[in-house]
């Protein structure tokens, strides 16, 4: 199959998966208007593969068979491959209204497991990857457990199910129980790849597991978060009326997983390295998919300042300059993470860990300041402006056109206000703000990894030499 069409992807979602949304069972993700927005958004990743304009970035060709497959599944082997992956993620996120699409996260996890595992487990993940690539599957990753009391390890929790764990095993496979949370893309994926969320000690061995299930596996239940629910007028919500990602509480009620789908079984010493191996790729993806959002903020701030007639004001120029510095710093850092990528003994090229985490940290800690600068340039209309139904009404529109014109016609100015409001103020804006801080790991997690991964030989050597110690 190689490259599926968007329609083939949509058709693959009609199965028995158990979805709960807004207090009710949803029979099929395709038939619910809110959830369908997420399906159509994710379909972008399939559309680019068939669009000649994007072929160079979106399609890879197997050198042996000559068969095309999605470039998302190309294992990076050079720094150029990493840059190409960054550009593909940037492309689909820009087409996707600043929201990442569906093939990024799963491919990050598969690369990590392929690079880490040995022996039989390596063969299993190879077979899983080969099938995902050949069938162009959309793979979600459930890593974050509900976790309970954060000061306690999995086995110390009052309820043993607060991290996903194994409860039984047989010659056929294992039975797992527990719940993951914030799991993106599960309602509209083809596979859920489950990874450990943290390092584990020997007493946590039952929790040191990794496996894959299809979303319709008996015992898997998904409870979909309702953020950005309900009808959205496309004029009022130019991005979030068309683009959406779904997160679930993903519950495993004594789910049977056959051995060929188990990639880690009661090996606590590998839980930490596995979590980290995923994050090594995933934070690179994370910053790559932020680039269109940052470009959109810079562009929107400059445009609204011009439309408001304040583009020449000194303090506005200062804010725009700060936004440009922030945007270009993040971009330069993630490009540097790719260029500094290291090729391991396995032939895989991994982005430089310290630089990737510095990029993610710079993005996450600067985001709220950037939002404030954009909102400052835009003015209070971000929350007091008219709605889409007002704009559609021929009796009201002339009033809006007359009174909201500034240095640009009202139609343009209000369109830009609506974009900024959608991206920074309303529920999609709130989602972006929390995504910035927490998704792909919290700010503290990034700092920890910067400290661990930074190669201090150069500064230490210089300091010692200047001090006359060598």
Ligand X SMILES: Cc1cc2nc3c(=O)[nH]c(=O)nc-3n(C[C@H](O)[C@H](O)[C@H](O)COP(=O)(O)OP(=O)(O)OC[C@H]3O[C@@H](n4cnc5c(N)ncnc54)[C@H](O)[C@@H]3O)c2cc1C
Report, in Å, the least distance between residue 353 CB and ligand X. Answer: 17
Residue 76 or residue 187: which is nearer to ligand X going by CB?
Answer: 187
Rounded distance between C-alpha atoms, residue 419 and residue 121, angstroms: 47
Rule CB under 6 A: is residue 226 a binding residue for ligand X?
no
User: Residues 6 or more apart from 424 whose CB is under 8 A from it?
Assistant: 297, 371, 374, 375, 382, 432, 433
Rule CB under 6 A: is residue 287 a binding residue for ligand X?
no
Candidate segments 90-98, 135-143, 208-216, 298-306, binder of ligand X by CB under 6 A: 135-143
Contact 290, 360 (CB under 8 A): no
Rule CB under 6 A: is residue 141 a binding residue for ligand X?
yes
> Helix (H, G, I), strand (E, B), or coil: what is residue 349?
strand
Q: What is the DSSP string of 141-192?
A: EE--B--SSTTS-GGGSSSGGGS-EEEEE-SSEEEEEEEEEEEETGGG-SEE
Site for ligand X in 233-252 (CB under 6 A): 247
Q: Is the dihedral of CA 70, 75, 79, 83 positive or negative?
A: positive
Report, in Å, the least distance between residue 445 CB and ligand X. Answer: 7
Rule CB under 6 A: is residue 64 a binding residue for ligand X?
no
Site string for ligand X, 172-211 (x = CB under 6 A): ----------xxx---------------------------
Interface with ligand X (CB under 6 A), residue total 20
Residue 144 or residue 253: which is nearer to ligand X going by CB?
Answer: 144
Residue 5 or residue 156: which is nearer to ligand X going by CB?
Answer: 156
Report, in Å, the least distance between residue 453 CB and ligand X. Answer: 18
Site for ligand X in 147-166 (CB under 6 A): 147, 150-151
Q: How far is CA 467 from CA 187, 403, 457, 461, 463, in A?
A: 59, 68, 15, 10, 6
Rule CB under 6 A: is residue 332 a binding residue for ligand X?
no
Rounded distance between C-alpha atoms, residue 182 and residue 188, angstroms: 14
Candidate segments 37-45, 125-133, 145-153, 233-241, binder of ligand X by CB under 6 A: 145-153
Candidate segments 70-78, 138-146, 300-308, 377-385, binder of ligand X by CB under 6 A: 138-146
Report, in Å, the least distance between residue 157 CB and ligand X. Answer: 13
DSSP code, position 75: P
What are the backbone dihedrals phi and psi of residue 76, each rounded to the nearest 5 degrees, phi first?
A: -65, 130
Site string for ligand X, 430-459 (x = CB under 6 A): ----xx--xxxxx-x---------------
Select the residue interacting with ligand X from 5, 126, 144, 365 (CB under 6 A): 144
Rule CB under 6 A: is residue 362 a binding residue for ligand X?
no
What is the rounded end-to-end Cα distance, in angstroms, of the chain? 61
Return the closest-CA partner of residue 126 out of 142, 141, 140, 110: 110
Residue 154 or residue 173: which is nearer to ligand X going by CB?
Answer: 154
Site for ligand X in 98-127 (CB under 6 A): 105
Rounded distance between C-alpha atoms, residue 262 and residue 80, angstroms: 32
Q: What is the DSSP string of 89-134?
A: HHHHHHHTTT---SSHHHHHHHHHHHHH--HHHHHHHHHHHHHHHH
Rule CB under 6 A: is residue 365 a binding residue for ligand X?
no
Q: Is the dihedral of CA 63, 68, 69, 71 positive or negative?
A: positive
In the complex, which residues of this chain contact ligand X (CB under 6 A)? Answer: 105, 141-144, 147, 150-151, 182-184, 247, 434-435, 438-442, 444
């Amino acid at each position: 199959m190689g490259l599926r069409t968007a329609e083939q992807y949509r058709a693959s979602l009609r199965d028995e998966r158990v979805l709960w949304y807004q207090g009710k069972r949803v029979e099929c993700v395709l038939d619910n208007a809110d959830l369908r927005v997420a399906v159509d958004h994710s379909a972008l990743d399939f559309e680019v593969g068939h669009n000649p304009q994007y072929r160079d970035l979106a399609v890879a060709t197997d050198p042996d068979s000559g068969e095309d497959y999605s470039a998302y599944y190309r294992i990076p082997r050079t720094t150029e491959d990493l840059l190409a992956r960054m550009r593909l993620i940037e492309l689909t996120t820009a087409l996707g209204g600043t929201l990442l699409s569906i093939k990024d996260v799963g491919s990050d996890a598969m690369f990590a497991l392929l690079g880490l595992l040995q022996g039989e487990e390596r063969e299993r993940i190879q077979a899983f990857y080969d099938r995902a690539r050949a069938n162009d599957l959309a793979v979600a990753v459930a890593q974050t457990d509900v976790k309970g009391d954060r000061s306690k390890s999995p086995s110390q929790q009052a309820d043993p199910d607060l991290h996903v764990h194994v409860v039984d095993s047989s010659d056929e496979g294992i039975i797992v129980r527990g719940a993951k949370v914030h799991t993106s893309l599960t309602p509209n994926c083809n596979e859920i790849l489950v990874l450990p969320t943290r390092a584990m000690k020997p007493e946590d061995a039952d929790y040191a597991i990794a496996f894959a299930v299809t979303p319709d596996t008996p015992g898997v239940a998904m409870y979909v978060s309702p953020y950005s629910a309900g009808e959205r007028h496309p004029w009022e919500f130019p991005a979030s009326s068309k683009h959406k990602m779904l997160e679930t509480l993903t519950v495993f009620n004594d789910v049977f997983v056959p051995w060929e789908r188990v990639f880690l079984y009661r090996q606590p010493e590998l839980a930490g390295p596995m979590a980290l191996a995923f994050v090594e790729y995933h934070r690179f993806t994370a910053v790559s998919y932020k680039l269109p959002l940052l470009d959109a903020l810079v562009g929107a701030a400059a445009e609204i300042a011009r439309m408001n007639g304040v583009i020449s004001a000194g303090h506005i120029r200062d804010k725009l300059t700060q936004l440009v510095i922030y945007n270009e710093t993040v971009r330069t850092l993630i490009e540097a993470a790719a260029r500094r990528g290291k090729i391991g003994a396995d032939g895989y090229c991994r982005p430089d860990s310290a630089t990737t985490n510095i990029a993610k940290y710079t993005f996450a800690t600067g985001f709220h300041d950037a939002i404030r600068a954009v909102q400052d340039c835009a003015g209070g209309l971000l929350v007091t402006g008219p709605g889409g139904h007002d704009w559609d009404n021929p009796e009201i529109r002339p009033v809006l056109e007359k009174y909201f014109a500034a240095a640009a016609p009202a139609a343009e100015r209000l369109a830009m206000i609506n974009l900024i409001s959608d991206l920074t103020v309303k529920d999609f804006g709130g989602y972006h703000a929390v995504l910035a801080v927490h998704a792909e790991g919290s700010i503290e997690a990034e700092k920890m990894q910067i400290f661990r991964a930074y190669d201090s030989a150069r500064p230490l050597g210089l300091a010692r030499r200047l001090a006359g110690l060598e």
